[in-house]
Amino acid sequence: MEIRRVGVVGLGTMGAGIAQVSVQSGFETVGREVSDELTERGRATVERYLDRGVEKGRLSQPERDGAVGRLTLTTDLADLASCDLVIEAVLEELDLKRELFAELDRVTRSNAILATNTSALSVSEIAEATERPQRVVGMHFFNPAPVLPLVEIVRGRESSDEAVDAAYAWAERAGKRPVHCNDTPGFIVNRILIPLLNDCVRVLDEAKVAPEAMDKAMTNGAGWPMGPCALIDLIGIDVHVHASEALHEKLGEERMAPPERLVRMQQDGVLGRKTGRGFYEY
């Protein structure tokens, strides 16, 4: 199937980034949030990053204006009825996602593809809330979505070849570099990256290493483009802790459990870039 119109549910950091990718790639896009205030905040995020693209010469003013013109905002899920692809980017809570997918199942066309941007939850368990799990796939973007090229296209237990292939093809048309994977805990990247980042954080305390030294060591010694502490700050301490807990629950591996230091930071509201303070000050 050819995807012409895209819906994005949730316009926080990830959702706004996905919406930007969609409109910048030429797709009519409907963004949905739960309140007018949040929809306008989402629009402001998209416009701010498009404006930055113009300032840096990556985008012309007409291209920027055309992208903004392709974005429609709503608080009503029924306005996504005409979308060929709907990408969900709400909070990482299974019950919330299942409730949303059950409603999307009712309001969208029978051949629409419903995709979840979950980073750690089971695509198959989300799909079980619908009457057509064969149309549900995972499309895991990475933050920041407009910049990082990877999208994991996740096949659930009942995902059809057509839905998976259409999601993959759309990601390519949107300028991304998709990869196929199956619905296993953490998919590809997070299955490897989360325990590795947790190891790095544990070394901070066990070896009494400063975050600056850790990041300098991993960028200069291991060739990482960004140090682990800076990366966790970018991801968000709360997001990383939640993903770690989900993987630990599924796999039972101790390395998956979030380090106590990150749990304390989350409890104290020290969440990284989004709050202006994490391992570093912003």
Of all residues in the chain, what percent carry a pLDDT higher than 90? Answer: 96
Say whether 190-273 and 5-182 share the same fold: no
Selected from 3.10.520.10, 1.10.1040.10, 1.10.3720.10, 3.20.20.70, the CATH number assigned to the domain covering 190-273 reads 1.10.1040.10
Whole-model pTM?
0.92
Catalytic, 160? Answer no
Is position 220 annotated as part of the catalytic site?
no
190 counts as catalytic: yes
**119 noted as active-site residue:** yes
pLDDT(143) > 90: no
Which pLDDT score, from 0 to 100, does residue 276 have?
97
Backbone angles phi, psi at 72, to 5 degrees: -115, 140
Nearest to 96 by CA among 200, 213, 248, 242: 242
From 124, 190, 198, 244, the catalytic residue? 190
Among 33, 92, 117, 119, which one carries the catalytic annotation?
Answer: 119
First to last CA, the chain: 44
pLDDT confidence of residue 120: 84
Residue in 33, 88, 92, 152 annotated catalytic: 152
Q: What is the pLDDT of residues 102-126, one digit of tens each?
A: 999 999 999 999 999 999 899 999 9
Domain boundaries, the chain: 5-182, 190-273
The per-residue pLDDT for 1 is: 79
Number of CB atoms found within 10 A of residue 184's CB = 13
Q: Please report where in the chains the tokens 């939850």 appear, as a residue.
A: 121
Of 140, 240, 242, 248, which is the active-site residue?
Answer: 140
98, 127 Cβ separation under 8 angstroms:
no
Q: Is pLDDT at 200 greater than 90 in this prediction?
A: yes
**May I ask the CATH architecture of the domain 5-182?**
3-Layer(aba) Sandwich (3.40)
